[in-house]
Amino acid sequence: MADYVLALDQGTTSSRAILFDREGRAVGKEQREFPQIYPQPGHVEHNPEELWGSQLQVIRDLLRRARVAPERIASLGITNQRETVVLWERETGRPVRNAIVWQSRISTEICERLERDGVEPLLREKTGLLIDPYFSATKLTWAFEQDSELKRRAERGEILFGTVDSYLIWKLTGGRVHATDISNASRTLLFDIHQQQWSPELLDLFGVPEAILPKVVDSSGLIGETDPQWFGKPIPIAGVAGDQQAATFGQICFEPGMAKNTYGTGCFMLMNIGHEPRLSSNGLLTTVGWRINGETTYCLEGAIFIAGAAIQWLRDGLEMLAHAGDSEQLAASVNSSDGVYFVPAFVGLGAPYWDPHARGLMVGLTRGTTKAHVARAALESIAYQTRDVLDAMRLDSQIELSSLRVDGGATANNLLMQFQADILNTAVHRPVIQETTALGAAYLAGLGVGFWETRDEIARKWTLDQEFSPDMDEQKRSSLYHDWQRAVERSRHWLEE
C-alpha cells in the first residue's frame, strides 16, 4: 500500500519537493534555487531547462534521502508559479526561448495598446482579469511580435505553450501529456471562466494559435504518469493547481467567505466565493480556485507583486541584512517606523491599483532615520498592501472577515503578523503546517486517487499554531493607514510617457 503523496512546489526562485503522509505531515523536503535573469529593467526571465533540472533533482534527492521507493507514493501533485510563459518544441521538448516570468513588465506597451482599443470590458467579462503585463497572453503576444519565425512555427503546430505546470507535466510524462489544470488556465487572459474553455475570440485578439494550447483538466484526478526513466517506476500525476489556489485549498478555505493570504515573493489573498463567478468592482480579480469532479469553485484574488522580495532587496540590494530573517530583530529594535513609509513598487503596483507605471519610493526620511526604521517600514509595507486588498474584498463580497488564515515564509515574523492583525483590525490565524501551497497540491493529488476520501477528512487536519489579535486603537490605525495611502499616491504614475 502507498504511504505518501509527493508534492512539487515550483516557485519563482526555487523548486521544492515535499513528501506528505496520511496525516498531512511533511516527512521530507528538498529545495534548490535557480538563477533569475534580468535582461533589462522590469523584465524577468528563467531558463526552462534550469527550472526543470532543479525540480527533477530535488525529487530524486528527496526520494533517496527519505529512502522511499516510487511504489510507496500514491500520487504526485504539482503547484507552480502562475502566468509565467514557457514555449518549447513539440518534437524535441527543447525550449525555444527563456520563460517570461509573471513578474515581467515587458508587455506594458501591448497592454496600453489594448486599453486604447477598448477591449478591457470584454476581457474582464470573459476572464475575470484585467489588462496587465502580469498575465500570460500579453507575454505571448510580445514574444511573437519580437520573433516572426517563432509565430510561424507556432501556427504550424511545431511549438507548444504552457504555464509552468504544463511544462512540468510534459517533461515528467516524457512528452505524452500536454495539459494544464483549470486554475492555471484561468490566469492566462485566454480562458473563458464562464464557458470553461479556451476562447476563440481572445485567441484571435492576442494572436495566439490554438494549436499551441494545452488541454484543460480538473485540478484533482488522474492526468498521466511519470515516465519510468525519471524515478524507475511510474508515479500517477493526479493533482495540479496554481500556487495561490493550491495554498487556498491547503488552508481548507472550502466554504464561501473563507480567505487566506500567502506571504512569499509577492502577497496573494484569495477568498472563496462559491460556485458562481462574480466580477469585482474594486480592482480585484475573479479566478478559478479549483475544479473537482466537474464542480468549479471560484475566488476573488488580490495580487501584491512585491512582499518578501522587499526584504530580499534590503538584504541583497542595500546589504542592510545578512539574512532575510534578521529583519524582525532589526525592526523590533525601534518602536515604530518613525513616520517612514516604504512603497515597494519595484515592478509597478498590483491589486487594487494595477499601475505598471508606479515605482518604489521611501518617504518621511529625516536625519534621525536609521536602517531599523527602514526595515520596519519595509515589513509594514507588506501589511499595508494586504489591507489595501482586504478593504477591496470587503466591498466586493460584503463579507466582514472574522479571521484571516496566513501562510508563507514571512508568517514566521511575529512582529509582521501582529502589525498585520492591528492594521486590518482582524484576527490572523497561522496554522501549524506552514507548507500550505505544497499541502494543497498534495491534497488535490491524494483526493484524485482516493488516498484521502473526502474534503471533510482533510479539513479535520487543519490545526492552529498561533492567533494574532488586533491590539491597536482605531485612531492610530486610521492615521497610519491614511499616511500609507498618501505615500502610495506619490509612487503612482511615476514613469511618464
pLDDT digits (tens, 9 = 90+) for 151-163: 999 999 999 999 9
pLDDT at 435: 84
Residue-range domain boundaries for the chain: 4-244
The residue-averaged pLDDT of 185-203 equals: 96
pTM of the predicted protein model: 0.88
How confident is residue 497, by pLDDT bands cut at 50, 70 and 90? Answer: low
> Would you call 427 exposed, middle or buried from its count of C-beta atoms within 10 A (0-12, 13-18, 19+)?
middle
pLDDT digits (tens, 9 = 90+) for 13-68: 899 999 999 999 999 999 999 989 999 888 899 999 999 999 999 999 999 999 99
pLDDT digits (tens, 9 = 90+) for 343-382: 999 989 988 998 988 999 999 999 999 999 999 999 999 9
CB-based burial, 172-211: b 16+ in 10 Å, e otherwise? bbbbebbbbbbbbbbbbbbbbbeeeebbeebbebbebbee
Most confident among 104-108, 170-174, 258-262, 399-403 (mean pLDDT): 170-174
Q: Does domain 4-244 have CATH number 3.40.1260.10?
A: no
The residue-averaged pLDDT of 210-214 equals: 95
- The H or E element containing residue 112 is helix 108-116
